[in-house]
């Protein structure tokens, strides 16, 4: 063999794990055999069980806590109150405004007051019942519209954030020839309803520090909050990711983390805690309920001129990530449309309702429901086709959004809209009773059903914004041919673990990969698994680390053999391209390991100014959904018959996993449209269970038709890929709601659409099944 | 008869439990006393299906089975699925879930596998609505069910193919 | 803990331990046990009593169906029994999930006596008789004397529900249940309608709209006089509307987190009309 033989280099590789493949999940086998260890499966010798006593009141003063009777029970090892917190008494994702354990006041139903460790869950239950808390109930602040003027319920005040965005000519609507439509919309409180309840295991290290294994989205920020409350330096608190049974935003905040560590340090024993389902509803934040007033102005030919909106989000008792949720709601309030003039006021307030924070779609879900209803309303006022109106006003790369930021990346709005709208429907008729509205209840016959259809667009940023420019760190080590990747990125089910293998396969051409457990001990922060950011941030970090290793490896070979790096390539676990025809294996070349650690950052963003203007976002994504629904107007029951989607994905890295995100995200959007709501009455959650908080079953979810995945590689993104997790949840809800409006002729300004909203609506304007046919 | 020692046949093996408290569910005993954590605890009121097992062949929510009342019963859990299939390490339903991309967080997976296995035992070529009804008691929050339904079709096809070749599924 | 294998066993154990909980399918009881709101010290498990599971025909012409209290909801959906009491099968199919239906029993549904108990309106419409046993002997109660309030029944300590007797009627039966999900949902309102062609009567009962299952007697009387029980002529719209209105009048719904009283009253009116039209489609099967 002589010179570099290009045929050799280009010969077919063994089928393997590359970018673009539907690679198999590395955690798939343990997940189907039952061997995968979720946080609730953790177990330790000599382990105690933890439990939490929560406030039964939305608002009350605590006069006295008597732990004596609980402590006296056999088997009880610790009963802790706020007095037992050695460090900061408060925690919080953005700012520490929430007591670890309530002191003198409780501000929402379910606020933790006492934590207990005992030898058996039943002992915990009895001990919790034995604690005597003397509450003096006070009048709760429940109406978000009154919050601003009400006496503050918290030292930080009742307005968590107000943004008053003004863009373009503020007199633009003064022209007399404009068409305007106005509406007030409402979104109910949605729950993430992940399947694996909050759980974790804390183990004291015997030297005053603690190890915590927990299901979370963001290990390092958890670690920092836990350490601050324990009064320990960060390095003495080590967090490791335990198996996560879904997240969807609900694991971005602290839940049982600090409590577990307090109990473990206090008892000197490992302590496990696992929330029951009802406790889970009290133990994490929800999607913000929202009230939104909108007015759209357009020319008579359908060009949008100005959007005005007032968004009021109920943040509940503590800030969580409300500060950023309202920014998203405000920045994306007008949707993926060219809007030259805007006046959007977004306010998020504090009340004694359950705290709200991150959930998939993060603020964009609420405003999308409103702006898409407005677009349909505007189309009706203009007597235009709703798809045509959207197309006419669609944003494109190079346009400026209402924050004044120019879109420099890709944004195929027209492409997703047209693909989705033009896709042929495969929906059959409501032939089987089980597939009609009402399902197993056999309530509807064919003649009772009307069908409706609508299209909606969704628009959101990718990654964190407003100068919150977090990074992700990754390490890649190649040693004797084995690639070990370390990152603290939380795998919550989305398939980052698969992607790591694909990136290693793509860059280093080997299947010999180990992904270290995500932990705060071994690497720096990966940031949060949220905001559709981990593929870009941690995927990017892994890519850069692998590329650095590749560079060093090839340089080593070039040096060793006296050849040029450019002549060399990696193939099937070997280096090829040596003039002597030798193909040294990666194993032989890395007896001495090669290591690279990279901190990956995205392009910097800027804060919003006083007018809500600024280059606050890194990147944007758009999606379209078309919904076809069958409605039984007399009973107000709905069956979503078919969903069709097209999405702006940048580049597809794993088609099968991408499909899973699209289908799963759409299911949460369908749920919000027709059934999901945490019902809060007088500040109390009335349905904290899977019996009464309904999420779609297999008989409720329609098939999802994927019309197109628009692949326009995003500059600056690893492999050109955009995050895809959130968009499916954003545009699906307004599409379903729009289709119900189309079927019934009703306004339906609120989701979830309740049976009453349809069946008891004034018959005026309502389409009857007879008329519809 | 009265049971002080709880005796169960689990995945073909006889197991005894001596220290269970009176109110413990079969799910709790499996997970916390017998080290079989594959069955999951997500609602403990029969509304999610994560804890689905077979008790004397019936598909049930193990969270709603009082352990003591199951004395003498035969229980199959997700850990026992693979053993039921010959030739490969994974059962056909397990392999199909992997191939179809039906697993994301995986918390609902064990319960779904049990339900699907039971369905395919009764019905080798179920139609779409039959499949949807059969898994309507198993909530999944990640997938929207699309890949799960695809997996069920795959598993049904592979079981039919195995049946035609005379292989015991 | 007693695992009874016969009714006598069970009754003896219940006599010996009057405070023991009776456990059948467990799908209601275990929810409370798991939540820690139902202390559990002693239990008599009745889920493995063969004589309590299954059904038989009684009477000279087999006109009575005796269903063992241990019969599961899944059993009730089997074709043989579904053909005898279709509404009961339809109701049983709406109970919880497949897993729940494999465990939950007819007797358990009665014992729980929830306003939303899915089989109860059917049993009310069929004027079921509940057979109770204790060491003292047998007691038989009509359904309306058995279910006495919200989750309250007429069982006395030591007494076990062993069977339910319902008539095998000649005529259509309908069960409709309104819920906001297509499966695995608690009824917001439900209705059972049974027709006795021989006796020329229609009986209607409602679920989830009152503390106990309620009959819509006035509605029954109205249609009994005006319907064509030979099935040639369907009821006209006026009759259907009057019937539906009277059915709705029988409801005594409340507002709760599952639905409003106004919606419930409206919903039973809608499903009453639909049930009647389904039961009396007329010979041409064309409505209107």
Fold of the domain spanning A6-36+470-601: Aldehyde Oxidoreductase; domain 4 (3.30.365)
| CA–CA separation, A539 and A717 (whole Å) | 9
| Angle (nearest 5°) at CA C256 between C254 and C259 | 85
Chain A, residues 486-515, CB within 8 A of chain B, namely 492-495
Whether residues C184 and A697 touch (CB distance < 8 A) is answered with: yes
Residue A215, both tokens: 């299901």
Residues 6 or more apart whose CB falls under 8 angstroms from that of B26 comprise B53, B55, B62, B63, B65, B66, B67, B70, B75
What is the signed CA dihedral for C276, C277, C281, C285, rounded to 10 degrees?
-160
- Which among A631, A549, A624 has a CA at the least distance from the CA of A590? A549
User: Residue B88: its pLDDT value, please?
Assistant: 59
Residue A592 has a pLDDT of 98
- By Cβ distance, the residue of C25, C34, C96 closest to B137 is C96
Contact flag A637-C257 (C-beta cutoff 8 Å): no
Closest chain B residue by Cα to residue A120 = B21
Q: How far is C24 from chain B (nearest CA, A)?
A: 9
Taking the Cβ of residue A22 and every Cβ of chain B, the question of whether any pair is shorter than 8 Å is answered with: yes
Report cis status (omega within 30 of 0) of the bond before A752.
yes
Q: Mark which residues 44-63 of B lie under 8 Å from C by CB.
A: 44-47, 49, 52, 58-61, 63
Please say whether the beta carbons of A727 and A362 come within 8 A. Answer: no
Q: What is the mean pLDDT of residues B20-36?
A: 95
Ordered domains of chain C (ranges, CATH): 2-47+54-167 (3.30.465.10), 173-279 (3.30.390.50)
CATH of domain B6-80: 3.10.20.30
The alpha carbon of residue C93 is apart from the nearest alpha carbon of chain A, in Å, by: 7
Q: Is C270 on the interface with A (CB under 8 A)?
A: yes
Q: Do residues A472 and A600 make contact, with C-beta atoms less than 8 angstroms apart? A: yes
CATH no. for B82-163: 1.10.150.120
* Residue B83 confidence (pLDDT): 67
Residues from C in contact with B at Cβ < 8 Å: 1-3, 5, 23, 25-27, 29-31, 33-35, 39-43, 45, 47, 96-100, 102-103, 182-184
Measured between CB atoms, does A428 come within 8 Å of chain B? no
Determine whether the interchain pair A690/B148 forms a contact, defined as Cβ–Cβ distance below 8 Å: no
Query: Across the interface, do A659 and B103 touch by the CB < 8 Å criterion?
Result: no
CB atoms within 10 A of CB C16: 13
The pLDDT assigned to A6 comes to 40
Q: Encode pLDDT of C122-147 as tens digits.
A: 999 999 999 999 999 999 999 999 99
Measured from the Cβ of residue C79, the count of other Cβ atoms closer than 10 Å reads: 8
Residue C196 confidence (pLDDT) above 80: yes
Grouped pLDDT means (10 residues each) for chain A, 773 residues: 40 72 96 97 97 98 98 98 98 97 98 98 96 98 98 98 98 96 98 98 98 98 98 98 98 98 98 98 98 98 98 98 98 98 98 98 98 98 98 98 98 98 94 94 97 98 94 98 98 98 97 97 97 97 98 97 96 95 97 98 97 98 98 98 98 97 98 98 98 98 98 97 98 98 97 97 63 56
Distance CA A366, CA A378 (A): 19
Which residues of chain C have a CB within 8 Å of the CB of B136?
Answer: 97-98, 182-184
Interface contacts A/C by beta carbons within 8 Å: 99
Closest CA to A285 of A313, A312, A327: A313
Query: Max alpha carbon distance in chain C (Å)?
Result: 62
Of B48, B94, B100, the CB nearest to A690: B48
Sign of the Cα pseudo-torsion (B9, B13, B16, B20, in order): negative
CB-CB neighbours of A97 under 10 Å: 19
Instruction: Name the residue among A445, A675, A681 with its Cβ closest to that of C274.
Output: A445
Chain B residues in contact with A274 (beta carbon < 8 A): 41
Q: Where are the domains of chain B?
A: 6-80, 82-163
Furthest-apart CA atoms within chain A: distance in Å: 89
CA of B161 vs chain C CAs: smallest distance (Å)? 27
List the single residue in C176, C186, C271 with the smallest CB-CB distance to A691.
C186
**Chain C partners of A434 at a C-beta cutoff of 8 Å?**
182
Q: CB of A694 within 8 Å of any CB in chain B?
A: no
The confidence score (pLDDT) of residue A638 equals 98
Compute the distance between CA of residue C9 and CA of residue A724 in angstroms, rounded to an integer: 61
How far is the alpha carbon of A159 from chain C, nearest alpha carbon, in Å? 29
**Token duo for residue A246:** 């879904």
Please judge whether C287 and A447 are an interchain contact, meaning their C-beta atoms are less than 8 angstroms apart.
Answer: yes
Q: Which residues of chain A neighbour B135 with C-beta distances below 8 Å? A: 697-698
Which chains would you list as touching C if contact means 3+ CB atom pairs under 8 Å? A, B
Neighbouring chains to A with at least 3 Cβ pairs closer than 8 Å: B, C
Chain B adjacent subunits, 3+ CB pairs under 8 A: A, C
CB contact under 8 A, A197 and B113: no
What is the reported pLDDT for A768?
Answer: 60
The minimum CA-CA distance between A269 and chain B, rounded to whole Å, is 18
Sequence ranges of chain A with CATH classification 3.30.365.10: 6-36+470-601, 435-461+620-773
- Contact between A732 and A666 (Cβ < 8 Å): yes
What's residue A232's pLDDT?
98
Chain B residues near residue A35 by CB distance under 8 angstroms: 38, 79
Answer whether A277 sits within 8 Å of B45, measured CB to CB.
yes
A34 and B CB contact within 8 Å: yes
Which residues on A lie below 8 Å from C32 (Cβ)? none
Using CB atoms, which residue from C90, C178, C263 is nearest to A760? C263
* Residues A435-461+620-773, CATH architecture: 2-Layer Sandwich (3.30)
How big, in percent rounded to 5, are the helix, strand and coil portions of chain C?
A: 35, 25, 40
**Chain C residue closest in CA terms to B51:** C99
Per the CB < 8 A criterion, the answer to whether A301 and A177 are in contact is no
pLDDT of C286 strictly over 50: no
Q: Work out the pLDDT band at B163, boundaries 50, 70, 90.
A: confident
Q: Report the distance separating Cα B55 and Cα C47, nearest Å.
A: 12
Chain B residues 115-144 with CB within 8 Å of chain A? 129, 131-133, 135-144
CA distances from A632 to A8, A556, A746, C130 (A): 65, 71, 13, 37
Domains B6-80 and B82-163 equal at CATH topology level:
no
Residue A769 confidence (pLDDT) = 61
Q: Nearest CA of chain C to the CA of A771: how many Å?
A: 15
Q: Report CA A541 to chain centroid distance, whole Å.
A: 21
Q: Give the integer Cα–Cα distance in Å for A94 and A285.
A: 14
DSSP bridge partners of A473 = A599
Exposed e or buried b per residue across A373-396, where buried means at least 16 C-beta atoms within 10 angstroms of its C-beta: bbbbbbbebbebebbebbbbbbbe
pLDDT tens digits, one per residue of B87-135: 558 999 999 999 999 999 999 999 999 999 999 999 999 999 999 999 9
Residues A704, A736: contact at Cβ < 8 Å?
no
Q: What is the rounded radius of gyration, in angstroms, for the C-alpha atoms of chain C?
A: 19
Q: Determine the pLDDT at residue C41.
A: 86
d(CA A263, CA A272): 9
């Amino acid at each position: 063999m002589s010179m570099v033989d290009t045929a050799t280099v280009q010969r077919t590789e063994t089928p393997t794990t590359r970018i673009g493949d539907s690679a198999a999940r590395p955690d798939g086998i343990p997940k189907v055999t039952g061997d995968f260890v979720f946080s609730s499966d953790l177990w330790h010798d000599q382990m105690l069980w933890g439990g939490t006593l929560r406030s039964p009141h939305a608002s009350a003063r605590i006069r006295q806590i008597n732990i004596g009777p609980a402590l006296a029970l056999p088997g009880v090892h610790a009963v802790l109150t706020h007095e037992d917190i050695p460090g900061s008494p408060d925690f919080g994702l953005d700012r520490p405004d929430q007591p670890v354990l309530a002191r003198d006041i409780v501000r929402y139903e379910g606020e933790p007051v006492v934590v207990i460790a005992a030898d058996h869950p039943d002992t915990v239950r009895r001990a919790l019942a034995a604690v005597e808390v003397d509450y003096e109930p006070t009048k709760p602040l429940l109406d978000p519209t009154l919050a601003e003027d009400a006496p503050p319920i918290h030292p930080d005040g009742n307005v968590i954030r107000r943004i008053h965005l003004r863009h373009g000519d503020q007199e633009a609507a003064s022209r007399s020839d404009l068409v305007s439509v106005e509406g007030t919309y409402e979104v109910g409180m949605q729950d993430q309803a992940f399947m694996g309840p909050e759980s974790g295991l804390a183990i004291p290290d015997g030297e005053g520090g603690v190890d915590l294994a927990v299901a979370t989205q963001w290990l390092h920020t958890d670690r920092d909050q836990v350490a601050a409350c324990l009064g320990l330096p960060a390095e003495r608190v080590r967090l490791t990711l335990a198996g996560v049974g879904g997240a969807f935003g609900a694991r971005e905040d602290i839940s049982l983390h600090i409590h577990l560590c307090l109990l473990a340090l206090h008892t000197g024993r490992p302590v496990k805690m696992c929330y029951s389902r009802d406790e889970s509803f009290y133990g994490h934040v929800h999607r913000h309920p929202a009230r939104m007033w909108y007015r759209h102005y357009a020319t008579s030919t359908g060009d949008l001129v100005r959007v005005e909106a007032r968004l009021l989000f109920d943040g509940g008792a503590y800030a969580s990530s409300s500060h950023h949720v309202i920014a998203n709601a405000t920045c994306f309030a007008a949707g993926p449309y060219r809007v030259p003039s805007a006046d959007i006021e977004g306010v998020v307030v504090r009340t004694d309702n359950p705290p709200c924070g991150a959930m998939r779609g993060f603020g964009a879900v609420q405003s999308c429901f409103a702006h898409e209803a407005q677009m349909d309303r505007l189309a009706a006022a203009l007597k235009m086709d709703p798809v045509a109106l959207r197309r006419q006003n669609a944003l494109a790369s190079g346009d400026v959004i209402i924050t004044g930021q120019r879109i420099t990346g890709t944004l195929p709005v027209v492409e997703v809209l047209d693909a989705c709208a033009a896709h042929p429907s495969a929906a059959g008729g409501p032939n089987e009773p089980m597939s009609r509205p009402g399902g197993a209840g056999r309530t509807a016959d064919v003649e009772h059903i009307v069908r409706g259809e609508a299209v909606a667009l969704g628009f959101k940023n990718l990654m964190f914004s407003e100068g919150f420019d977090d990074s992700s760190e990754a390490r890649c080590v190649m040693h004797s041919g084995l690639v070990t990747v370390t990152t603290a990125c939380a795998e919550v089910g989305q398939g980052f673990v698969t992607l790591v293998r694909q990136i290693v396969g793509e860059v280093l051409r080997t299947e010999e990969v180990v992904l270290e457990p995500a932990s705060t001990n071994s690497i720096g922060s990966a940031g949060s698994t949220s905001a559709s950011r981990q593929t870009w941030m941690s995927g990017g970090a892994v890519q850069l680390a692998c590329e650095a290793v590749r560079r060093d490896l090839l340089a080593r070979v070039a040096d060793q053999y006296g050849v040029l790096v450019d002549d060399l390539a990696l193939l099937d676990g070997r280096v090829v391209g040596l003039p002597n025809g030798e193909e040294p294996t990666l194993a032989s070349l890395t007896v001495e390991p090669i290591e690279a650690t990279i901190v990956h950052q995205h392009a910097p963003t800027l804060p919003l100014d006083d007018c809500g203007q600024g280059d606050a976002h890194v990147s944007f994504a758009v999606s379209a959904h078309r919904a076809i629904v069958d409605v039984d107007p007399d009973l107000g029951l709905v069956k979503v018959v078919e969903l069709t989607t097209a999405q702006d994905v940048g580049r597809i890295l794993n088609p099968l996993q991408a499909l899973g995100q699209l289908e799963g995200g759409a299911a949460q959007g369908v749920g919000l449209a027709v059934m999901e709501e945490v019902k809060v009455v007088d500040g109390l959650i009335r349905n904290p269970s899977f019996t009464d908080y309904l999420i779609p079953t297999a008989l409720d979810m329609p098939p999802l038709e994927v019309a197109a995945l628009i692949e326009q590689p995003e500059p600056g993104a690893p492999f050109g890929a955009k995050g895809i997790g959130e968009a499916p949840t954003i545009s699906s809800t307004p599409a379903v709601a729009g289709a119900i409006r189309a079927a019934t002729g009703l306004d339906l300004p609120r989701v979830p659409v309740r049976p009453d909203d349809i069946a008891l609506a004034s018959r005026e304007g309502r389409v009857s099944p007879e008329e519809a046919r | 008869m009265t049971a002080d020692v709880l005796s169960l046949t689990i995945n073909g093996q006889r197991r005894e439990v001596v220290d269970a408290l009176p109110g413990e569910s079969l799910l709790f005993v499996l997970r916390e006393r017998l080290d079989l954590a594959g069955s999951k605890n997500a609602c403990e009121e029969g509304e999610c299906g994560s804890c689905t097992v077979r008790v004397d062949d019936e598909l049930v929510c193990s969270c709603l089975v009082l352990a003591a009342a199951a004395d003498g019963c035969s229980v199959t859990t997700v850990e026992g699925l693979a053993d039921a299939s010959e030739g490969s390490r994974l059962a056909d339903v397990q392999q199909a879930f992997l191939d179809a991309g039906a697993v994301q967080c995986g918390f609902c997976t064990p319960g779904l596998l049990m339900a699907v296995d039971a369905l395919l035992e009764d019905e080798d070529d179920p139609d779409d609505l039959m499949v949807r009804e059969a898994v309507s008691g198993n909530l999944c929050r990640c997938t929207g069910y699309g890949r799960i339904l695809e997996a069920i079709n795959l598993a049904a096809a592979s079981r039919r193919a195995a049946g035609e070749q005379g292989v015991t599924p | 803990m007693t695992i009874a294998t016969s009714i006598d066993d069970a009754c003896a154990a219940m006599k010996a331990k009057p405070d023991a909980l009776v456990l059948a399918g467990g799908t209601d009881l275990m929810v409370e046990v798991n939540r820690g709101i139902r202390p559990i010290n002693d239990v008599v498990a009745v889920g493995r009593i063969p004589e309590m599971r299954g059904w038989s025909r009684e009477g000279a012409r087999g006109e009575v169906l005796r269903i063992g209290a241990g019969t599961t909801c899944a059993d009730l959906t089997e074709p043989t029994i579904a053909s005898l009491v279709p509404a009961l099968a339809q109701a049983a199919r709406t109970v919880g999930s497949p897993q729940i239906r494999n465990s939950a029993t007819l007797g358990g549904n009665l014992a729980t006596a929830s306003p939303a108990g899915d089989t109860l309106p059917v049993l009310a419409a069929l004027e079921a008789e509940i057979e109770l046993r204790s060491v003292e002997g047998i007691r038989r109660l009509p359904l309306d004397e058995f279910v006495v309030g919200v989750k309250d029944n007429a069982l006395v300590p030591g007494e076990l529900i062993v069977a339910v007797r319902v008539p095998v009627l000649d005529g259509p039966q309908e069960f409709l249940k309104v819920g906001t999900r297509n499966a695995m949902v608690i009824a917001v309102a439900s209705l059972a309608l049974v027709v006795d062609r021989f006796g020329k009567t229609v009986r209607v009962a409602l679920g989830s709209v009152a503390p106990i299952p309620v009959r819509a007697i006035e509605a029954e009387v109205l249609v009994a006089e005006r319907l064509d029980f030979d099935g040639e002529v369907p009821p006209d719209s006026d009759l259907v509307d009057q019937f539906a209105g009277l059915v709705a009048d029988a409801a005594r719904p409340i507002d709760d987190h599952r639905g409003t009283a106004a919606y419930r009253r409206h919903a039973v009116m809608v499903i009453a009309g639909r049930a009647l039209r389904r039961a009396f489609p007329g010979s041409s099967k064309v409505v209107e």
